Amino acid sequence: MYLSRLALTNYRNFPDLELALPAGMVFILGRNAQGKSNLLEAAYLLAIGKSYHANTDRELIHLKALEDVPSPGSGQALITGEVEHRDGRLKVIMGLQAIAAEGAGGPLVHKQIRVNGVPTPVTGLVGRINAVLFTASDIDLVMGSPSGRRRFLDILISQADRGYLRALQRYQRVVTQRNHLLRLIREGRGSREELDFWDAELVKEGVAIIAQRDQVLEQLAPLARKTYSELAGSQEELTLAFQPAVPAQGLEEVLREQREREIGAGMTLHGPHRDDLLLEVDGMNAAIYASRGQARTVALALRLAEALFLKKARGEEPILLLDDVLSELDPQRRHHVLEEAGRYQQALTTTAEPALVSDTPVPPSAVFTVENGQVTPS
């Protein structure tokens, strides 16, 4: 599949943009803070329904469009994408409308999604357009907190199986309700007997999530090991291991044994929301012992493995989005990443260095320049 058209209205620093995109290796050039990353963010937004670096949807709306809220027609952003895939053309429109009600820091934003003209929730959008995003901050997958690695897994699995996303949302609602009840019990305003129901719900959804994460890791691990070996060009071996906070078969017992502790804390301390992914290079924990160069190679291997997994799981190539990741790589690794990306139907690659475009093993199908929210072919 590939993104053939991207249209933006009042999105970030793009008041009005209409962009036709070819398949193949597409380079997007521009100095920093011109809007290159915003284009890839918009493409990824059409795939997963959420921004990867905005704290709120309000940040996605052009500042001038927010000035006159709640005047009619103000405070609205539109992101439109058309994707060519094996079953034909898919058109996704995402509307962001600021409303008068005030939230933290400004007006609240209402999101609406239409897929081929049909109103669709986020759970119905994820998986329709598959995309893999590479960013310079991916090193945090290795060096950062477990939450980043869980997010990596959750996005990967959700794009392959929308049922997983629905189970994840149900689990998160259960944890929220259970935490509320735990706090009430701690304050003497809730019933311990009510916990039995929420414990059973947490076990039901949690066991399914743990099992699916474990199953996917078994398939992802050999893909990541192979891609790391090719990137590193050495005999180093990358291993991935799923580390559930509690094994699926023991979750019910742990909740029962730890009930008093969780009441005292006023929160759910055990379950898949505490899972982690262990990354090791030659048997050493990469989060502790890997150099920055090794960690960046591990992160690239994870992304390339993610793309391979989605290709196998969905029977169709995902769109690759490489956001300013080339400049920090040595020529050997840069060429390898571009060669691998060139095997996919489309790869959108941003860079601030024109020299990197001329030093690519994959001939570009198009090159665009971004400056002050304007995009021109070059």
What local confidence, expressed as pLDDT, does residue 18 receive? 97
DSSP helix/strand/coil, 347: strand
**Distance (Å) of CA 340 to CA 132, 226, 274, 300:** 13, 13, 33, 11
What local confidence, expressed as pLDDT, does residue 233 receive? 84
**Pairing mode, strands 14-20 and 2-11:** antiparallel
User: What pTM was estimated for this model as a whole?
Assistant: 0.94
Question: Is the pLDDT higher at 179 or at 52?
Answer: 179
Residues β-bridged to residue 220: none
**Which residues make Cβ contacts (< 8 Å) with residue 187, sequence separation at least 6?**
none
Span 365-374, average pLDDT: 95
CB 233 within 8 A of CB 332: yes
CA angle 204, 209, 210 (to 5 degrees): 100
Give the residue among 338, 202, 183 at the shortest CA–CA distance from 270: 202
CB 246 within 8 A of CB 271: yes
Q: Is the pLDDT of residue 216 over 90?
A: yes
* Confidence tier at 69 by pLDDT (50, 70, 90): low
* Residue percentage of the chain with pLDDT more than 90: 86
**pLDDT tens by residue, 71-83:** 655 688 999 999 9
**Distance from C-alpha of 341 to C-alpha of 351, rounded to nearest angstrom:** 15
**pLDDT tens by residue, 267-288:** 999 999 999 999 999 999 999 9
Say which DSSP state 21 is in: -
**Distance from C-alpha of 269 to C-alpha of 266, rounded to nearest angstrom:** 9
347: exposed, middle or buried (C-beta count within 10 Å: 0-12, 13-18, 19+)?
Answer: buried
Query: Per the structure block, which two tokens stand in for 341?
Result: 């990306």
**Distance from C-alpha of 145 to C-alpha of 150, rounded to nearest angstrom:** 9
Where in 116-150 does DSSP place strands (E)?
118-119, 131-135
**Distance from C-alpha of 208 to C-alpha of 149, rounded to nearest angstrom:** 18
350, containing H or E segment: strand 346-351
Query: Per the structure block, which two tokens stand in for 141?
Result: 């997958």
* Confidence tier at 63 by pLDDT (50, 70, 90): confident
**Distance (Å) of CA 101 to CA 71, 95, 106, 107, 116:** 13, 18, 8, 6, 30
CB 164 within 8 A of CB 158: yes
Q: Is the pLDDT of residue 103 over 70?
A: no
DSSP helix/strand/coil, 19: strand
Cis peptide before 70 (omega within 30 of 0): yes
- How many other C-beta atoms are found inside a 10 Å radius of the C-beta of residue 70? 11
Say which DSSP state 190 is in: S
